[in-house]
Amino acid sequence: MSKKAKTAITPTREENFPDWYQEVIKAADMAENSPVRGCMIIKPYGYALWENMQSVFDGMIKALGVQNAYFPLLIPLSFISREAEHVEGFAKECAVVTHHRLEAGKDGGLVPAAPLEEPLVIRPTSETIIGDAMSRWVQSYRDLPMKLNQWCNVMRWEMRPRMFLRTSEFLWQEGHNAFETEEGAREDTHKMLDAYADFAENYLALPVIKGEKTDDERFPGADMTLTIEAMMQDGKALQAGTSHYLGQNFSKSCGIKFQGREGGEEFAYTTSWGISTRLVGAMIMAHGDDDGMIMPPKVAPHHVVIIPILKDDQDSAAVLDYAEKLAARLKEQGIRAHLDASDERTPNKMWGAIKKGVPLRVEIGGREVEEGTLTHVRRDIGRDSKASCSVDEFVNGAQGILDQIQADMFARAQKSLESRIHDVSNVGDVESFYKDGGVGFVKGSADILSDAAFEKVAKEHSLTARCLPFEDKGNKVIIGKSY
């Protein structure tokens, strides 16, 4: 064994961040690649995380009056071309279904046999098909606002897929709201962005910058796109959620019109908003360390993993019994406790829990059983946080420890974000910052974007305008490399 601290993940973040990322996913058993390029298999542990995220956010939007529904995967080709900018933005990423039957071919393989009269597009997003439904459902101003959401998969043919961050098929929620007035819709666009920021910061421990996208970065077909931008540990930006004000673009192309208060025919103002499984990637890259994943307690599949340290059979029964009782008591408190009763060797169980990022680990052996105590360790801090206490004390205090972990994770991420936003006053500053190997974002006057020299600098260092932050009232711009 070498003297150098052994990390559970190789390479380390510093050695090779992209490889480290992939290894964390594998080590935590969250997902794997599928036989089809660009698609991924989300394994039970990774999916459990997504389910928790869904459940939290679903509750948030229902509290805002949103109703869930489900719209079809397949969209008539003609629908996609209804909104001019929308087509242009999505056309090249669309997967198209052209046939509906397979038959035995000449060389024994199966070949598509029956061409469709009108090809179908696998939804890259559902504005058009939901717009079509809304056009039938909205008759009067009394039907507004209408707030619909669906949890589903979408497909965008990607040139360069990366697990969770950019896969051809991904899971998300897409919300589609329709309003009587422009003000109502604009206000809603902000409200949904606020929900995203709340979700990211308070549940995923992911600090974000709220702002508006620049013209080039806007959603195809939107008049305004709002975003929450997060920073990963390598200093790159990740667009973590977007909320779009669509004006009357889609209501006009989909025919969402209603009879107004004065009796006249009016077009609705619509919004759409989405977050995806990409957020899983964001959490990995924002919180993970060289030993693997670190789950934010509020969405972690397991809050506490209990590891029984078993010696001989006689002892084992007592230890297991003790551990089971502890698990039951924790569950009563609403804590997701997981007893690892597998017959893995003890160190493997421990490293397994570390790599999976379970926030709190409890170790129980013969000693603890005799004393009525247990040993616990925080994942985010590691062995330095190892402590011993009575079972009662732990059962009463566990939620507090989890809350502390959640708060500390957010504070760490926020500090990392804030310390890596650098003020610049002109394009020259931007260039020299990245040329000198600067890591993170730069922030300066929004005028930088219209400087003729910006385009070249941006291209050279793969920079994009991330957003015009609200906190600067649109006068400043955040620029950075991004995923």
Partner RNA sequence: CGGAGCGUGGCGCAGUUUGGUAGCGCACCUGGUUUGGGACCAGGGGGUCGGAGGUUCGAAUCCUCUCGCUCCGACCA
Give residues in contact with RNA (CB under 7 A): 6-8, 18-19, 22, 33, 37, 89, 92-93, 156, 158-162, 165-168, 170, 217, 219, 239, 242, 274, 276-278, 291, 309-312, 345-348, 350-352, 354-355, 363-368, 375, 377, 382-383, 386, 459, 462, 481-483
Strands across the sheet with 95-99, in order?
74-76, 115-122, 95-99
- Could you give the CA distance from residue 319 to residue 24 in angstroms, rounded to a whole number? 31
Shortest Cβ 258–RNA spacing (Å): 29
Smaller CB separation from RNA, 52 or 277: 277
Shortest Cβ 166–RNA spacing (Å): 5
Beta strands in 29-145 (DSSP E): 31-33, 40-42, 67-68, 74-76, 95-99, 102-104, 110-112, 115-122
Smaller CB separation from RNA, 202 or 346: 346
- Could you give the CA distance from residue 412 to residue 321 in angstroms, rounded to a whole number? 38
Smaller CB separation from RNA, 37 or 100: 37
| Side-chain-facing half-sphere of 432: CA atoms under 13 Å | 7
Smaller CB separation from RNA, 58 or 93: 93
Shortest Cβ 82–RNA spacing (Å): 18
Shortest Cβ 252–RNA spacing (Å): 21
Shortest Cβ 266–RNA spacing (Å): 29
67 backbone φψ class: left, alpha, beta (φ>0; ψ -120 to 50): beta
> How many CB atoms are closer than 10 A to CB 18?
11
Picking from 59, 65, 52, the residue whose alpha carbon sits closest to that of residue 191 is 65
Shortest Cβ 231–RNA spacing (Å): 14
Shortest Cβ 261–RNA spacing (Å): 35
Residue with tokens 């003020």: 423
Smaller CB separation from RNA, 36 or 63: 36
Smaller CB separation from RNA, 138 or 238: 238
Smaller CB separation from RNA, 297 or 480: 480
SS3 463: coil
- Could you give the CA distance from residue 331 to residue 472 in angstroms, rounded to a whole number? 45
Residue pair 72/121 in contact (Cβ under 8 Å)? The answer is no
